[in-house]
Structures are given as structure tokens and as C-alpha cells.
């Protein structure tokens, strides 16, 4: 039997669910290959009480895992794609994206409120600037509460009454099968994070065995969609700390990309979309970013949007 494939993952319940899904899928598609999971603790996990905008550097949920990839300690990494920075370290590749789960945001509340029915002044918990900005744009009366921690911890805080409602990803709720009241938010109300609902399988770019294994899990339509979204984010120079959202959908080879850029307080919000060929998704992402920059995205983001100089 050949050497085991080692899959690296964070240690949260959701991350381990994702890694176990990948392990089982690889074992089914590669008979005779042993697949193991190795848990790696990341900066984001170690500083679970620190707000996103106060964490230093980029990729605070993936850096240590990528270091393990580069050192050869693991062969593949399974990420929630929205955690993966747009620019990967030299020597690493986004080798596959399995079929995407529902990318929408979900509104959790004990009363199963729809967004429009939230009582005036409701306290809504979210750890994402993107979500907070969009909610404030539509409902300036809401009090947005920052929150960190794994899904179980967040839900427990909601049920303890520390907030009136909470925003989480539909994908995480479905994957973990949590029994908590929620309703999906329309993407016209809350456009998802880049890559939300999708998994990213990362490998060393020069590892043919890992690349071939990852290819067994790839869903081409999902890969095309997230490549467009990531190109949009990369051209704007943003990450999960800034209010940028995007969602690509495909109909055959036609790709539709919707994007949002907002001020953190939601007072100004830019919503645009672009259409193009799914066979060149990066071009669609770049085109939408260019249009947003032309229409004032850099000002909304504090002057940080646009490609690097030099």
C-alpha cells in the first residue's frame, strides 16, 4: 500500500466535518489509499476572542496549515474557501473546489424572524464586516454586535439572550445539522462572502500525487464561480476585514458575477454586476472590480482598492 495521504484541517467541529467529508470522498475514489486527518491549530483559533479587524496579518485561519503543506507535513489542506486569502504562498495551489453548498447567509432568531420583521433596535450578532455593513445599509436602527468563536459557541450565546438575532452561513448550519431556528437571507439583501459555501482543497503546486487526488474532488462549475469571485476580491485588494461581497452563478458557459463594496457603517453601498465567459472567470472578476473602482470603490474602502503599484 502506498504512503497515506495526510489531510490538514483546523480543529473546529465544522472544519473537522469538512476534512472528514474529504477523507471519505478520497478513500472512495482512490481504493487502496489510506487517508488521514491531521489537526493544526491556527492563529485565528488561538485568538478566538479577538475581533477580526484586530488580528495581525492575513490568512489567520490558514497560515499554519499552509506552512505544514510547504514543509511536507501534510499533503492536502481542506479550507472553508472564504478563509483562504486571494494570493496563495509561492509553491501552493488551489487544486480543487468540490460542489458548493448553499452560499447564502442565514438569520437566526428564537422567533424565526424574517429580516424585515426584526423589532426596531434589535441586537444582531455577526463577526463579519461585510454582513454588518449590508445590514446597517438596509436597517440603520439595528445594533450590530461583534462576535467570534465556533458555530456552537455563537449559537449558544444567541440562545442565552446575548443577542436578539445572529447571522451565520447557511452552509455551516446545514453541514452540522444544527437544530436552531433560521431563515435564509436573499442575496439582494446580504450578498455572501467570496467563496462562501465552497470548500478549497490546497496542495503543493509540484506534488503530482496530491494534485491528482484533489482533482477527484473538483466540481468545475464551482471552481469557475469562485475563481471569478476571488479575482474580483484580489483586484480590489480586500480580505475578510473589509465590506466586500461577491457571488458568481453559471448557466452553461455564461457567468454572472454580482459584487458589493460598502463603507463599514453601511451608509454607502456600491452594487454592480458583470457578465462573461465561465471559461475565463478571472476576466469577469477583473472587469467587475474595474467597474467598481471606476464608480468609487476605492473611496468606500478608504483608498485601498485597486491593484498594487510598481
- The per-residue pLDDT for range 128-157, each reduced to its tens digit, is 999 999 999 999 999 999 998 889 889 999
Distance CA 14, CA 20 (A): 10
Q: What is the pLDDT of residues 217-248, one digit of tens each?
A: 999 999 999 999 999 999 998 655 679 999 99
Distance CA 181, CA 177 (A): 12
C-alpha angle 69/286/301, rounded to 5°?
85
**At the top level of CATH, which class does the domain 219-295 belong to?**
alpha beta
Q: What is the architecture, at CATH level 2, of domain 1-99+198-218?
A: 3-Layer(aba) Sandwich (3.40)
Distance CA 139, CA 200 (A): 33
Cα-flanking dihedrals φ and ψ of residue 83, to 5°?
Answer: -85, -15
Domain spans, the chain: 1-99+198-218, 105-184, 219-295
Nearest alpha carbon to residue 171 among 8, 18, 7:
18
Domain 1-99+198-218 and domain 219-295, same fold? Reply is no
- Sign for the pseudo-dihedral over CA of 174, 39, 196, 215: negative
Per-residue confidence band for 1, with pLDDT thresholds at 50, 70 and 90: low
* Fold that domain 105-184 belongs to in CATH: D-Maltodextrin-Binding Protein; domain 2 (3.40.190)
| Residue 58, pLDDT above cutoff 90 | no
pLDDT of residue 239: 59
| Residue 305, pLDDT above cutoff 70 | no
Per-residue confidence band for 290, with pLDDT thresholds at 50, 70 and 90: very high
**Catalytic site residues?**
83
Q: Are 97 and 76 in contact (CB under 8 A)?
A: no
Amino acid at each position: 500500500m502506498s504512503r497515506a495521504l495526510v489531510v490538514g484541517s483546523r480543529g473546529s467541529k465544522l472544519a473537522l466535518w469538512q476534512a472528514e467529508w474529504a477523507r471519505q470522498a478520497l478513500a472512495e475514489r482512490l481504493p487502496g489509499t489510506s487517508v488521514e486527518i491531521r489537526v493544526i491549530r491556527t492563529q485565528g483559533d488561538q485568538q478566538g476572542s479577538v475581533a477580526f479587524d484586530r488580528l495581525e496579518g492575513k490568512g489567520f485561519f490558514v497560515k499554519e496549515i499552509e506552512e505544514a503543506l510547504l514543509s511536507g507535513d501534510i499533503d492536502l489542506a481542506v479550507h472553508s474557501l472564504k478563509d483562504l486569502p486571494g494570493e496563495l504562498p509561492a509553491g501552493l495551489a488551489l487544486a480543487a473546489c468540490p460542489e458548493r453548498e448553499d452560499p447564502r447567509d442565514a438569520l437566526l432568531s428564537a422567533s424565526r424572524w424574517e429580516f424585515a420583521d426584526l423589532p426596531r433596535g434589535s441586537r444582531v450578532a455577526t463577526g463579519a464586516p461585510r454582513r454588518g455593513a449590508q445590514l446597517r445599509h438596509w436597517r440603520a436602527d439595528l445594533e450590530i454586535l461583534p462576535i467570534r468563536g465556533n458555530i456552537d459557541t455563537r449559537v449558544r450565546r444567541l440562545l442565552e439572550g446575548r443577542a436578539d438575532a445572529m447571522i451565520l452561513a447557511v452552509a455551516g448550519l446545514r453541514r452540522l445539522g444544527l437544530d436552531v431556528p433560521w431563515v435564509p437571507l436573499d442575496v439582494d439583501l446580504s450578498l455572501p462572502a467570496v467563496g462562501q459555501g465552497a470548500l478549497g482543497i490546497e496542495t503543493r503546486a509540484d506534488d503530482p500525487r496530491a494534485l491528482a487526488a484533489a482533482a477527484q474532488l473538483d466540481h468545475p462549475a464551482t471552481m469557475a464561480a469562485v475563481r471569478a469571485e476571488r479575482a474580483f476580491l484580489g483586484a480590489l485588494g480586500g480580505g475578510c476585514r473589509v465590506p466586500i461581497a461577491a457571488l458568481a452563478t453559471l448557466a452553461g458557459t455564461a457567468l454572472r458575477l454580482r459584487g458589493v463594496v460598502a463603507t463599514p457603517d453601511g451608509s454607502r453601498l456600491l452594487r454592480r454586476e458583470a457578465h462573461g465567459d465561465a471559461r475565463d472567470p478571472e476576466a469577469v472578476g477583473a472587469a467587475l472590480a474595474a467597474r467598481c473602482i471606476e464608480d468609487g470603490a476605492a473611496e468606500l474602502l478608504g483608498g485601498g482598492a485597486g491593484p498594487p503599484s510598481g
